[in-house]
Amino acid sequence: MSNMNEINELETNPTLNYQSEITPSFNFIVKDVALKTLLFSMLFYIINSSLVHKLLQCFDKYPLIEKNFIQSILFGLVFYFISINL
């Protein structure tokens, strides 16, 4: 019976353990996390560039919609679509 409880507990609480795959050392970088961080920082840099600001000037006609709001929605959508594919 306790074996069944352990199986149910494992099925309901899946956890990711990146630490089990890393050998301990003083200078290690998890390449997967580092590359995702670089990718999303580049995405943030592109979304905040002056080119995107100029492209979003067409929304200046609408006083209720701010450029920062559109940039954050654009960043969130691109972030989401990249995240589900990685």
Q: Say what the pLDDT of residue 18 is.
A: 60
Question: What is the domain extent for residue 73?
Answer: 25-85
Q: How many independent structural domains does the chain possess?
A: 1
Q: Please tell me the distance from the alpha carbon of residue 49 to that of residue 51, in angstroms, as a whole number.
A: 5
Q: Is 9 helix (H, G, I), strand (E, B) or coil?
A: helix
Q: What angle do CA 16, 32, 85 make, to 5 degrees?
A: 80
- The answer to whether residue 78 is domain-embedded is yes
- The answer to whether residue 8 is domain-embedded is no
Q: Please tell me the distance from the alpha carbon of residue 36 to that of residue 82, in angstroms, as a whole number.
A: 10
- The answer to whether residue 20 is domain-embedded is no
- The answer to whether residue 74 is domain-embedded is yes
Q: Say what the pLDDT of residue 7 is.
A: 53
**Digit-coded pLDDT (tens) for 16-64:** 566 566 655 555 667 777 888 888 888 888 888 888 888 888 878 888 8
- The answer to whether residue 6 is domain-embedded is no
